[in-house]
Structure formats: structure tokens, C-alpha cells
Amino acid sequence: MKRDEEDDKRREQKQRIWDEFNQRLKQEKERFKGKKEDLQSKHEAEENIKLLMEMMEQMNREKEELMTKLEEKERNMMMEKEKLNHDKQRKRREEELKREITEQEAHQREIREQEMFEHGIEKVRQEKEKAKTEKEKLQLKYDIEIDKLMNRLEIDRIMKKRERK
């Protein structure tokens, strides 16, 4: 859309230059035409024709200069447009790269959190297993002590019973 507007502006500018050139050419032709009719001698007419030709050449040179400047301006505008497009693409690529890096960092953070969670669960499981083993050892020790005490009590009871007899 913007490009179309720029193209329209360039066309209008070219048309304006051509219109100005043609207007000046018409004015010069009319002026010299009027002078030509007024001139009496052939020599003066030839001089006027030479002048008119020189003026036309000068106007053609001016027109060529204007067209060259306009074409150069168009080239500069196109180069600027290409540069802007290149900058836009570079920015877009940078944004994509930033987004990918952010996503990758978030994914790595999730993996680390998952690993820490699993490690925590494993540690709790190991502590639970250790506590269970410790409990079993203590229970066994307790049972052995109870058995010893029961045996001793039994022995003491038997001994008292014998003493009584």
C-alpha cells in the first residue's frame, strides 16, 4: 500500500516535470514564433532559430538532469526501503531467537525441578526405609530383651518354687 503511494508520488512528480518542460517549451515556441513573424530578414530568422535550438538543447539538458536526479532519488528510496526490510527481518529473527531461548530455559528449569522433586521423593523413600529397618531392629532387640526377661522371671519363679519345697 505504501509502495503504491510512493509509486504514485513518483509518477506525479515525473508528470509535473514533463508538464513544466512542455509548458516552457510551448511558451518559448510561441515567443519565438511571434518574434519570427516580426523579423524581416532571413538572417535574423536564422539567428532566432539557432537561439531557439540552443534553448531547446538547454531545456533538454535540464530535463535530463531532472530525470537523472529523480531516478537517483528513486534508487535511494528503494535502497532505504530494502534496508528497512532487512532491519525488520533481523529484528524478527532476534525476537524469535529470544523466544526460543526463553522457552528452552523454562524447559530446562522444569526438568531441574522435576529432577529435584524425584530426588526428594527418593530421599524420603530411603529415609522411610531406613526408619522401617531401624524400627525392625529395635523391635527385634525389644523382643529379645522381653524373652530374656521372661526367661529370667521363669527361672526366678522356678527357683523360688524349688526353694519353697
Q: What is the pLDDT of residues 85-95, one digit of tens each?
A: 999 999 999 99
- Indicate whether 155 belongs to any domain: no
Q: What is the pTM of this model?
A: 0.41
Domain total of the chain: 1
- Indicate whether 77 belongs to any domain: yes
- Indicate whether 160 belongs to any domain: no
Residue 113 gets the label, from left (phi > 0), alpha (psi -120 to 50) or beta, of alpha
Count of CB atoms within 10 A of residue 67's CB?
Answer: 14
Q: What is the pLDDT of residues 21-79, one digit of tens each?
A: 888 888 877 877 776 666 556 666 677 778 888 988 998 898 899 889 989 999 999 99
- Indicate whether 146 belongs to any domain: no
Residue 101 lies in domain: 2-133
- Indicate whether 98 belongs to any domain: yes
